[in-house]
Amino acid sequence: MSGAARDREARENGVMSIEGYAADWLIRQRDFEGWTDADQTAFDKWLAASLSHRIAYVRLQAAWSYADRLVALRPSDTESLRSDWIRPVLTGIAATCGVIAIVGLAIKIFFASHAGEETYATPVGGHQIIELADASRVELNTDTVVRTAVDSGRRTVWLDKGEALFQIKHDPAHPFVVMAGNRRITDLGTEFTVRRDSARFEVALLSGRAWVDRVNDSNETSSALLKPGDVAIVTVDRMSITRASAKVLADSLGWRSGVVVFNRTTLSDAVAELNRYNEHKLVIVDPVVARIAIGGTFNVRNVEAFADIAKHAIGLHVEDRGEETVISR
């Protein structure tokens, strides 16, 4: 039985170690063509379930990067690494990283690939402003994770999930780059927002110019130069660009003041937006109700006010069920 088959069997039987799961996720992600939206959703849930999951995954990322560097030094006939070989190697490295007495090499590998990186995260409903060393600012919205590497030699930020506003100090000699999955946004004197979830990410340009492309892909259909008012919506296999008015863009930044602005927004979309900011969730169980349009400005944390409007202004039935509020006819 191959290593991959053994891991699948272990996963199905619920006996795989944390490091085994992390290795399995990492290998499946490397095969990007086979990575689906459902895979990303399941991975995000696994990663968020435990700090130990995140630690194991980060260690394996560092180990894989190191393995890639080693392979680059070997003859061409050994440059192709099979997943059933690399998985136990990575798992072993990750396990070794957990043993203090023998972590010297692993720590060197980790910090060599993460030197100068800082991680910032906001909880559900959170909001944070980061002042970077180059005088750029990153403003984080709810449930957002970014990693930054900003120094004299590079200016890179990775948006792992969530939404952020970037106000960039332009430096032609050192472009500012935001990574979201395998997509890259390069600053050309820019203020823009990036929002990323499991299925897609969205870039809205407020001022300046920005170049959006896909890493290691020169195909012109995978890249675009954005100008103010452009909104790029990017999925795994395509990118589309629409135009937004100054008012729409301003409304989209309401979260900076703790509000969301709806304009003929369906109740289903409005509820989905408010749920980003709250542990107590709003639920719509009726598809007819879901299509009702609503407008107005709402406090992102006041789901009770939204439910009251649904009940008294629209005439819907609202029921509090502990961890969620159900809206129906």
pLDDT, tens digit, 9 for 90 and up, residues 205-215: 999 999 998 87
- What's the CA gap between 303 and 184, in Å, rounded? 35
Phi, psi of 325 (to 5 degrees): -115, 125
- What's the CA gap between 152 and 128, in Å, rounded? 24
Average pLDDT over residues 48-59: 69
Residues 269 and 323 both lie in one domain: yes
Q: Tell which of 98, 114, 130 closes a domain.
A: 114
Residues 107 and 49 both lie in one domain: yes
pLDDT band of 30, cuts 50, 70, 90:
low
What mean pLDDT value characterizes the chain? 78
Residues 187 and 91 both lie in one domain: no
Residues 65 and 154 both lie in one domain: no
In a domain, 253, yes or no: no
Residues 96 and 143 both lie in one domain: no
Q: pTM score, two decimals?
A: 0.63
Give the model's pLDDT for residue 199: 80
Average pLDDT over residues 267-271: 95
In a domain, 71, yes or no: yes
Phi, psi of 18 (to 5 degrees): -60, -45
- What's the CA gap between 196 and 158, in Å, rounded? 11
Tell me which of 164 and 5 has the higher pLDDT. Answer: 164
pLDDT, tens digit, 9 for 90 and up, residues 92-113: 554 444 433 333 434 343 444 4
Task: State the pairing for strand pair 259-266/293-299.
Answer: antiparallel
Average pLDDT over residues 215-220: 60
| Domains of the chain: total | 3
List CB contacts of 309: < 8 A, sequence separation 6 or more.
Answer: 294, 296
Average pLDDT over residues 306-319: 92
